[in-house]
A and B are shown apart, each in its own frame.
Chain A
């Protein structure tokens, strides 16, 4: 059993200590709160800053990606142009070039042929030399027309020959009749 005075003093000491402890606790708490608050502010700024950084990065990234896409697009366009050029080259090598070479050979052949006919048979009396030679130079369509004109010309000449043959037959008969009359034979006109 404690002495009441001692007990009173102890209680008082305890109370004082409690107050001290309380004060200290409060003080510590306030410090902690201030620290927390400060930390929170930092964190907030960091979050905001981070967000801003992330946003900037995203925008920059998007711009980078966009630039890459643009560059890729230009490469695609360039590639398409190169592919078209390559295709043209293939077409030139495989189809157009040989065809043009062959066409030039044919035109030279046809022109020489027509020139020889013109010079030998004077075809230009009825059809001008330039016209015939011009047909030979106007590609496949001109050559096809030339063939048609030559065939037409040949057919006309055959027609003239046939008409002349009939004339000769008639004149041979007239000549025979004249000879018969002169020789005193009976004849009919």
Chain B
């Protein structure tokens, strides 16, 4: 199916208002110049548009997968840091308790000597 002048203009307008890349737009515009004589042009145009949409969808999946994995890494490292801080705090408290015990023991020994 070939396109008439009005259809070509409408498509040009739609293309200009779209978010397709300049590379895709240029390819489509070149094809549109042949649209009045070549019935396969429309299929080629839609294929080019589908190609960019598919590439973008793949990029979306990659970005989301990357974000998921980076988030997971952050969560795992953060959990280890949190666990480390809790363990360090526990050990500090244990050490403080041990010091108190040592002080009491020393006081007891001193009083026994007296």
Instruction: Indicate which residue in A95, A103, A113, A189 contacts B91 across the interface (CB closer than 8 Å).
Output: A95
Contacts of A157 in B (CB 8 A): 63-64, 66-67, 70
Contacts of A34 in B (CB 8 A): none
Determine whether the beta carbon of A154 is less than 8 Å from that of B71. yes
Determine whether the beta carbon of A181 is less than 8 Å from that of B14. yes
Closest 7 pairs (CB-CB, A-B) = A174-B18, A150-B74, A161-B63, A157-B67, A154-B70, A154-B67, A147-B78
Query: A87, A151, A183 — which one has the most chain B CB atoms within 10 A of its CB?
Result: A151
Determine whether the beta carbon of B71 is less than 8 Å from that of A151. yes
User: Is the C-beta of A165 less than 8 angstroms from some C-beta in chain B?
Assistant: yes
Number of A-B contacts (CB under 8 A): 147
User: Is the C-beta of A182 less than 8 angstroms from some C-beta in chain B?
Assistant: yes
**Chain A residues close to B by CB (< 8 Å):** 87, 90-91, 94-95, 98-99, 102-103, 106, 109-110, 113-114, 117, 120-121, 123, 140, 143-144, 146-147, 150-151, 153-155, 157-158, 160-161, 164-165, 167-168, 170-172, 174-175, 177-179, 181-184, 187, 189
Given contacts A154-B71, A154-B74, A179-B46, contact A164 B63 (CB under 8 A): yes
Determine whether the beta carbon of A110 is less than 8 Å from that of B77. yes
Determine whether the beta carbon of B80 is less than 8 Å from that of A109. yes
Instruction: Indicate which residue in A153, A161, A179 contacts B70 across the interface (CB closer than 8 Å).
Output: A153
